[in-house]
Structure formats: structure tokens, C-alpha cells
Structure 1
């Protein structure tokens, strides 16, 4: 078999990305009984989950961006504006996302990543356990992956 020369592209090609995602999903589903069982269920779909907090003036005080998939909540971003840090807002945002994921999407576990200079201790206080440590990612920083049973 002969292939055309490889090309490196930095632009986002949404059509190719979808073809690749679809083919990988098909291959994974064929190889995994668990993923095959999810096929056609609400849990199969990757669904966004966002929680926002606004201050008295309607400005963004904090927020959580994540998604749910296959009974998992994945927290991508959690941010609280400086004047509101230490007020419990971050804990409330996280708790609300966990509640929504558990009660409305039947999620049982949550996961997230954070760096050593961000909030690993905050997440431990919220009941999360460190399951992976990647030193020097990026150089000079340690990344943590944490999980928590929520349902």
C-alpha cells in the first residue's frame, strides 16, 4: 500500500475531526463491551455542564465548565474571581455541578485535573482523591488527576 505524503496542519478541520472521532468511537465500541452497552443511551453522549455565579451587579463571580459522559462528570475549569475567593463559592459551584451530574445525568464519579500551584488541596478538602501525578507537566509544574465518588 502506498500513502500520500503526510501533511502537518495546524488549522482545525472540523469535518476530519468528526470522521476521526466517529471512527475511533466505532472501533472502541467494537472492542469494549462496556462502551457497546452505552451505545444509544443518554450516557453515550458527551453533554456540557456549566454552572455560573454572578455577583450583585450581574458580573461573573465564578464558574465551572465541564461535561458528563458515561456516568462521569469531568470538571474542565473551575474559577472564582479574586474578591470572592475564600467565601466558599468554589465549593458551592463544585457541589452544584456534582449534584446536577448525579441527579439529572445519573453520574457516579467525577474527575478533574489541576496543577500544583492551583488547587489540589482545595479538591482534597472536597473529597477528591489523587489518582495520578505527572511531574514536570509542563516543565517545573506537577499535574494531578483527582476523582471522587458522587453517587
Structure 2
């Protein structure tokens, strides 16, 4: 018989996080033919993808941090320093990440999340489409999920 007694803990524990993630991946892989087909392939792993823009003083002018997984580019962060905004640097960073993801890693699509005060209009101009809206996340702000097919 399985015990119904549990001890709940709230501390950050990276080893347990990694164990939980591995067990969830195994459960998901067993339940999904698509994820099962990925098992053991390079596409199974999240591979970091970073693009950096340095100015003439070698200071960070902008950057993009994301990863590729299962034919998808996931953009986590895209930022451009205020003096460089409006000059096309964000477009260049995004285009380079998409190029590396598509040509070098076989990605067919990209996805990202952004808030209403950030850059949903910028991403739409780059060909991204809103596929999800979460109002009041966090309170008073709307989060958008956007996707794009890569060529």
C-alpha cells in the first residue's frame, strides 16, 4: 500500500528540479508519439541560441537569448539599449536568430512571449502572429504569445 503521508517543502533545489524535469520528460515521451520520435535525437535537447550586438566601445548594445528545440526557436529575451532603439538593431538580432535556427538547426517555427508595454507591434511587423493572450498577467498587464513560420 502507498503511504498517504507527504512532507511538502518549498526551498529551491536544482537537483530535484532536474529529476522532476527528467521524469516529466519520460512521462510525456511515453504518452506522445511525436515526443517519442524525438527521443535520443539532437532535436530532443534544448540548445541555447544567443545573438549579441556590441557597440564601438565594446558595450552591450543589444542581445537575444533563446534556445532551439524540436524544430522550434524559442525567444526568451530580446533587448536593445535605448540609444540604439529605432535603428533596426532589434530587427537584425531577431533575423540573425531566425537564420541560425532555420539554416543551422532545422527549425521551422519560432515562438515568444511579450507584454503589451514591450513589443507586440514590433514582432507583428516581423511576421509574428498572436496565438495567445493572457490578460492581467501580471495584474494590469497583458501577455501575448506570438509565433512565426520560418523559411
C-alpha distance in 1 between matches for 2:143 and 2:117: 9
What is residue 10 of structure 2 aligned with on the other side? Answer: 9
- TM-score by length of structure 2 reads 0.96
Report the alpha carbon displacement of residue 6 of structure 1 after superposing the two structures with TM.
2.8
Report the alpha carbon displacement of residue 3 of structure 1 after superposing the two structures with TM.
3.8
What is residue 75 of structure 2 aligned with on the other side? Answer: 75
What is residue 97 of structure 1 aligned with on the other side? Answer: 97
Report the alpha carbon displacement of residue 8 of structure 1 after superposing the two structures with TM.
2.8
2:71 is equivalent to residue 51 of structure 1: no
Flag structure 1 segments of 5+ consecutive residues without an equivalent. Answer: none
Residue aligned with 1:97, SS: helix
C-alpha distance in 2 between matches for 1:102 and 1:111: 13
2:11 is equivalent to residue 42 of structure 1: no
C-alpha distance in 2 between matches for 1:42 and 1:82: 37
Report the alpha carbon displacement of residue 91 of structure 1 after superposing the two structures with TM.
0.3
Report the alpha carbon displacement of residue 40 of structure 1 after superposing the two structures with TM.
1.1
Report the alpha carbon displacement of residue 110 of structure 1 after superposing the two structures with TM.
0.2
C-alpha distance in 2 between matches for 1:10 and 1:51: 33
What is residue 135 of structure 2 aligned with on the other side? Answer: 135
C-alpha distance in 1 between matches for 2:34 and 2:6: 37
C-alpha distance in 2 between matches for 1:73 and 1:10: 31
- TM-score by length of structure 1 reads 0.96
What is residue 147 of structure 1 aligned with on the other side? Answer: 147
Query: Over residues 27-68 of structure 1, what are the superposed CA-to-partner deviations in whole Å (9 max), with x where a residue is unaligned?
Result: 111100000111111100110000000000100000000000
Report the alpha carbon displacement of residue 18 of structure 1 after superposing the two structures with TM.
1.4
Aligned CA-pair RMSD: 0.9
Aligned residues: 150
